[in-house]
Amino acid sequence: MSTTTVGGGQSSGAGPPSGGSGRQAPTGEVPSLRPSSSRIGERIILNLLFFAAVVSVLTTLAIVVSLVIPTIGFFREISIVEFLTGTRWTPNFADKDYGVLPLVVGTLWTTGIALLVAVPLGLGAAMLLSEYASDRMRRVLKPVLEVLAGVPSVVYGFFALFFIGPVLLDGLLGIEVGTFNVLQAGLVLGIMIVPTVASLSEDAMSAVPSALRQGSAALGANRMQTTLKVVFPAAISGIIAAIVLGISRAVGETMIVAIASGNIAQVVSDPREAAQTMTGFIAQAATGENAVGSLAYNTLYAVGLSLFVITLVVNIISIRLVRRFREAY
């Protein structure tokens, strides 16, 4: 391999490291890779690497700036009170109203239904994999379950619209639903986030020390009792983190709801009806032709910022909880 990429300080690099002061790490620990001498080439490379890591922070900043500026433009024309408390969302009609509540309610419906599916299925699968399955079974079953997360969401949307609604709900279960409805979107959304819930909960349950299981067995409990009364409570913060991450996925998912839950923004009280979600609105209203600075363009960003804030809060809760369960044992 050529060494030309390494740069200036490289040519003299064949000799023993000079001095080595501050290098001696206590035995058993990883020696620090921080340069002890000032080689220019090494420094340039280190700075480039640091810059690459900083790009992620810049991305977050760029997201915030790019969302906030058009949103300010939006609130110059529409009052923030109307946006947050209005119950009619009709930016595409002649009589325009900008109350975001119908979109929020639509999002709550799809997310709620998704959780009703994903929490039991995900936890059940996690308990099976963590407490009952042998190593070999786990090695086979886990990747297969992960495939569910790898299927593109547009495929799930297609399946929800043409199969779950008309064939499963209407045909087999006899639930009368419209072509577009919240129920079919939520059910499929739930299946999509099962791997998210299952995989993180399994990590949390596997992290519970086996001494607790052995203690429970020694007291005469069988595996079901050990799983439900010892392992589950011990892993609870990790499990909640998994569910919270699932919520964040469900709130932010776009294609399933854009295809299957319809694009009528209305406050629904029945999951068999159609309703638009926040992501669904952005997908439907974005045509790539809205002029920068127009109200239609700014509206996208106002909804986008609301979505970003909601998921950010949810994510921070999840990250905190994960850290707590990692520290517990």
Partner 1 sequence: MATLGEHARTQPLGRARGGERAPRAVVFLLALWLCLFTGLVFLLVLLVQILIEGWPRLDANLITNYSSLLFPERAGFRAAILGTIWVIGCTAVLAIPLGIAAAIYLEEFADNERWYTRLIEVNIQNLAAVPTIIYGLLTLGILSLMQLVLDFQNRNVVIGGGIALALLILPVIIIATRESLRSIPAEIRAGSLALGATPWQTVWRQTLPAAVPGIATGTIIALSRAIGEAAPLLLLGAVVFIRSDPSGLFSGFTAMPVMIYSLVSQPQEELRTTASAGIVLLLVLLLLMNAVAILIRNRFQRRW
Is 300 an interacting residue with respect to partner 1 (CB under 8 A)?
yes
- Please say which residue, 45 or 88, places its beta carbon nearer to partner 1: 45
Site for partner 1 in 2-21 (CB under 8 A): 3, 5-6, 9-10, 13-17
Is the backbone of residue 203 left (phi > 0), alpha (psi -120 to 50) or beta? alpha
Is 252 an interacting residue with respect to partner 1 (CB under 8 A)?
yes
Is 251 an interacting residue with respect to partner 1 (CB under 8 A)?
yes
Q: Which of 8, 11, 60, 215 binds partner 1 (CB under 8 A)?
A: 60
Distances (CA, A) of 189 to 124, 135, 165, 238, 241: 18, 29, 13, 22, 18
Minimum CB–partner distance for residue 181 and partner 1 (Å): 16
Distances (CA, A) of 328 to 203, 212, 215: 13, 14, 18
Give ∠ CA 222-228-233 in degrees, rounded to 5.
130
Minimum CB–partner distance for residue 294 and partner 1 (Å): 12
Give Cβ neighbours of residue 7 (< 8 Å, ≥ 6 apart).
40, 41, 42, 44, 45
Site for partner 1 in 118-177 (CB under 8 A): 120-125, 127-129, 132, 141, 143-145, 147-148, 150-159, 161-163
- Please say which residue, 248 or 276, places its beta carbon nearer to partner 1: 248
Site for partner 1 in 80-119 (CB under 8 A): none
Q: Say how far residue 272 (Cα) sits from the centre of its chain.
A: 26
Site for partner 1 in 190-249 (CB under 8 A): 191, 194-195, 217-218, 220-226, 228, 245, 248-249
